[in-house]
Amino acid sequence: MEELLSFLSKIHDDFKKNLVAFNDILDRLPDDKKTVSVAQLDDIAFMMQDVSTAINQYKNIILKLEDKYFCDDENQFVLSFQNSIENFGIENNEKLSCTNFYKNSIKSQILKHKYSDILKNKTSKNEPNVSNKNTIILDNIDGVDLQNNYLELPVVKELENIPPAFYWYSGDKLHKSGIYTSLCKNFYVKVPFPNLLNPAKDFNSKSIKCKHETLNDCHSNKKKLASIYGGDVKECFYVHKKEKFNKVGSQYRCNVESFGNHKILDYDLKKVSNFDIKHLLLYSLSDDILAILWYQNRLKNNQKIVFTNLDTY
């Protein structure tokens, strides 16, 4: 094992030196390929193929080593060879528990690290270091009794290991691309960005759902009322099925009541203070906790939910 560690250390040092030299050479290459002879391009292409093959062989050996010592059916320490993981199993006609698990996982999902305590000082701070097996179950939040509606959360030992809340998801056959967050295991949400209205003027414009639900039912009802009481058929400013909601600003949420209006967003961003942001998060983050409590206690983490249309009725 000492021999293996020494060999990996040498590869690591050599790669770092070669990458610096490689980047320096690339910076000095001509941009116009017409200045390079066909024979030189043929030689470069041949060597690139050889180098690429050698790198892939290194990757495959390291993946075998990873699977042998660091993976089982439930835990994993996945190295950063994302593109080679899927190809490795196909090319070698193998089905590795660790790599197969990672291949089928959602990109934004937190990786599980079996050896996080041992490797935490070597782990990049850009990668989440959270174990789904290391969780805490709360029966109260800040002294508020949840009355048997328990809340289960993953635990981190260092503040820097908490991953970002939002991720860009490129989408799939069922879910549109956009900014997503995971509130807890199996509960995923596409983050909306609705327009925000002036509370003094347009508080009821597409911000409250209509009791008649569909636009046709609403129009029929207003037409009926117009025939009974006379006058024109009034327009409905509420939200009907398949229509999008607007948000309404208020001083309860933020001192800059218009913060979130698409037309003046750049202007308002310069006006909001730390206090405004804290007050805004007071409302939004505490509601996220309520959503998690609802999901974990009503659906028991057994049903996968992906909300992609929060702003649509």
Contact 305, 180 (CB under 8 A): no
Q: What is the pLDDT of residues 220-241, one digit of tens each?
A: 999 999 988 888 888 898 999 9
Q: What is the pTM of this model?
A: 0.55
- pLDDT band of residue 168 (cuts 50, 70, 90) is very high
Contacts of 251 (CB under 8 A, 6+ apart): 257
Nearest to residue 78, comparing CAs of 52, 49, 116?
Answer: 116
The amino acid at residue 123 is T
Answer with the residue of higher pLDDT: 33 or 113: 33
Q: What is the pLDDT of residues 102-140, one digit of tens each?
A: 444 433 233 334 344 444 444 434 444 454 458 999 999
The amino acid at residue 93 is N
Say how far apart CA 307 and CA 69 lie, in whole Å. 38
Say how far apart CA 79 and CA 97 lie, in whole Å. 14
SS3 breakdown of the chain: % helix, strand, coil, rounded to 5?
A: 40, 15, 45
Q: What is the pLDDT of residues 52-98, one digit of tens each?
A: 888 888 888 887 777 777 665 444 444 444 443 444 444 444 444 44
The amino acid at residue 245 is F
Burial of 260 (0-12, 13-18, 19+ CB in 10 A): buried
The three-state secondary structure class of 87 is: helix
Say how far apart CA 284 and CA 289 lie, in whole Å. 9
Q: What is the pLDDT of residues 242-279, one digit of tens each?
A: 999 999 888 889 999 999 999 999 999 999 999 999 99
Residue-averaged pLDDT of the chain: 79
Range 17-31 average pLDDT: 82
Q: 141 - beta bridge partners?
A: 144
Say how far apart CA 245 and CA 207 lie, in whole Å. 5
Burial of 76 (0-12, 13-18, 19+ CB in 10 A): buried
Instruction: Indicate the DSSP class of residue 54.
Output: H
The three-state secondary structure class of 47 is: helix
pLDDT, residue 72, reads 52
